[in-house]
């Protein structure tokens, strides 16, 4: 049966890891439709993976199966889990990487510990659960296997404070959560936090650089000029027209970003 299965990982594409996962899925369900969301999450960066995935998965049909593997705890005592929110399924390590997206669907979340080996590959590596557990579980889900068949019910899955930004009086403090391939710097500060502020007067400070105002689009400044604006994901972004803002500022994931009115 045809079913959409998405893949989000920190594996990159220089090795064969992603292709192997696809091979495992298609070996179980040759009719599955596999969609790559991204494989360029920074290695082991669970928060970035959660943020990027959550902003992408909401555009897929409700009955999609999402596999997310950003898994620094692979082979340890961390659990492998599957979640269901409405008609949507998530298969991932229990480190919070999919919980942000699942909560955004605003359905009751059910979860199971993936502890039924009959739905895994026969040999499980301690370093590649994406191939040996997550991919085959997703494939079995796509063939109609129920969530309950995959493992024991759990209610204490790992939460993640992804996208957290805090307000202190007249300022908002957030962090850099993603840097895209254009060098645009996406922060944890959502547009909704600016509602009571005059966007022409606020300042955005990152790595000692102070930017005046939140602009409407890249084209309102000169080539190479830095600016703050709202990204397509609805978050405050720092960019440079036709240049990499991340390179210009030496920005990295986790850097503090402060907005003052």
CA–CA separation, 132 and 74 (whole Å) = 11
Is the C-alpha dihedral spanning 176, 180, 183, 186 positive or negative? negative
> Residue 163 pLDDT > 70, yes or no?
no
pLDDT score of 165 = 86
Could you give the residue range(s) of every CATH 2.40.30.90 domain in the chain?
166-260
CA–CA separation, 84 and 81 (whole Å) = 10
Could you give the residue range(s) of every CATH 3.40.50.10790 domain in the chain?
4-154
pLDDT score of 120 = 98
CATH number of 4-154: 3.40.50.10790
Give the pLDDT confidence of 174-201 residue by residue, as tens digits.
Answer: 999 999 999 999 999 999 999 989 999 9
CATH number of 166-260: 2.40.30.90
- Which of helix, strand or coil describes residue 154? strand
- Closest C-alpha to 142, from 33, 53, 219, 238: 33
C-alpha distances in Å from residue 135, one per residue of 78, 89, 98, 131, 139:
17, 13, 15, 5, 6
Q: Which has the minimum average pLDDT: 17-26, 92-101, 132-141?
A: 92-101
Mean pLDDT throughout 151-157? 95
- Of 43 and 102, more confident: 43
Confidence of residue 128 (pLDDT cuts 50, 70, 90): very high
Helices 135-142 and 17-28, packing angle to 10 deg:
30
Q: Which has the minimum average pLDDT: 8-17, 155-164, 210-219, 229-238?
A: 155-164
């Amino acid at each position: 049966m045809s079913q959409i299965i998405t893949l989000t990982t920190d594996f990159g594409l220089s090795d064969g890891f992603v292709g192997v996962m696809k091979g495992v899925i298609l070996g179980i369900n040759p009719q599955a439709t596999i969609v790559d969301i991204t494989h360029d999450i920074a290695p082991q960066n669970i928060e970035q993976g959660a943020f990027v995935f959550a902003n992408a998965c909401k555009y897929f049909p409700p009955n999609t199966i999402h596999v997310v593997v950003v898994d620094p705890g692979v082979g340890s005592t961390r659990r492998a889990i599957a979640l269901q929110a409405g008609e949507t399924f998530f298969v991932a390590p229990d480190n919070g990487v999919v919980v942000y997206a699942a909560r955004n669907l605003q359905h009751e979340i059910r979860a199971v510990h993936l502890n039924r080996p009959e739905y895994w590959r026969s040999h499980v590596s301690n370093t590649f659960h994406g191939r040996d557990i997550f991919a085959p579980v997703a494939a079995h889900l796509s063939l109609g296997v129920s969530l309950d068949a995959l493992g024991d019910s759990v209610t204490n899955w790992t939460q993640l404070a992804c996208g957290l930004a805090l307000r202190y009086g007249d300022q908002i403090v957030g962090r850099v959560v993603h840097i895209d391939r254009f060098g645009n710097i996406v922060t944890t500060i959502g547009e909704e936090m600016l509602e009571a502020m005059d966007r022409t007067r606020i300042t955005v400070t990152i790595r000692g650089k102070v930017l005046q105002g939140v602009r409407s689009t890249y084209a309102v400044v000169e080539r190479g000029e830095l600016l703050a604006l709202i990204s397509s994901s609805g978050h405050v972004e720092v960019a440079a027209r036709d240049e990499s803002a991340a390179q210009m500022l030496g920005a990295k994931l986790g850097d503090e970003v402060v907005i003052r009115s």
